[in-house]
Amino acid sequence: MSAPVLSVRNLSIDYVGEDSDFHAVKDVSFDIAKGEFFGLAGESGCGKSTIAFAIARLHQPSALIRRGEILVEGRNVLDLDKKALEKFRWTEVAMVFQSAMNSLNPVLTIEAQFHDVLKTHLGLSREQSRKRAEELLALVDIPAERLKSFPHQCSGGMRQRIVIAICLALNPKLLIMDEPTTALDVVVQREILQRIDVLRKELGFSILFITHDLGLMAQVCDRIGVMLEGELVEVGDARQIHTAPTHPYTKKLWASMPRLRGAQIGGEASL
């Protein structure tokens, strides 16, 4: 097995309070291999988003990384200075947020928002970045004429795909997606995830996928980590997490999810 793209080692993060600290992430370690679709599951407040923000070095006070390392391609992200970080974000790690479809600038056209990234990082001219933006939009099945549109003229699903296309502009090695489709309808969600799955196979990037929807995760991910109150309680192959979970919490999560087909859950397994 080749070296992992991302390696989180003994990571502990606290939210510093006046009287006491809240231990949001407790001694978490996991690896993501090249091209791997890795899922981090858990309920609100379990620390999954805190980890995502720390990997992109987007965590802000009062979050404090107490211990641990975050290695991307062998380099500790926590050691990067401001200049190195600018290069690191987008080229190494790009991030799609839950509200990403609202993260586009409402007063700029889609084209201008692509140009912003491409000019800053690659120094492309308007002409060059338009060409590159057309290629990127094609990746997410959006016609080139959309470049002239403003965000409000595009549907939520389309905006989410545009954000993903911008994230892919500099060929990042790792795409972090924090609840990327939670605000979308299931049909749109499926279309987007399918597209992402094809792209990661074509372009070879890895994915850290964060969601509370364990069913969705089992469907799309290669491996899954389950978090409970800041701890990574179980990591395994997606199929194993689904069919043979070992941790009681993972079992309880499955037992509390009503099934669409087949035998219904018992209903008494409420946590």
Of 126, 119, 154, 122, nearest to 140 by C-alpha is: 154
CB of residue 57 to other proteins, shortest distance in Å: 28
- Decide whether 1 or 271 has the Cβ nearer to other proteins: 271
Q: Which residues contact 253 (CB under 8 A, 6 or more apart)?
A: 41, 214, 226
Q: How far apart are CA 113 and CA 162, in angstroms?
A: 10
CA distance 151 to 155: 8
- Binding stretches for other proteins (CB under 8 A): 43-44, 141, 185-187, 189-191, 193-194, 197, 212-216, 218-220, 242, 252-253, 256-262, 264-265, 267, 269-271
Residue (83 or 261) nearer to other proteins, CB: 261
Closer to other proteins at the Cβ: 1 or 260? 260
Residue 10 identity: N
Of the two residues 117 and 162, which places its CB atom closer to other proteins in the complex? 162
Helices (H), the chain: 48-55, 82-91, 110-122, 126-139, 156-167, 186-203, 214-220, 238-243, 248-255
User: Residues 11, 68: contact at Cβ < 8 Å?
Assistant: yes
CB of 53 to other proteins, least distance (A): 20
Residue number with CB closer to other proteins (132 or 212) = 212
Report, in Å, the least distance between residue 242 CB and other proteins: 5
Query: Least distance from C-beta 1 to other proteins, angstroms?
Result: 22
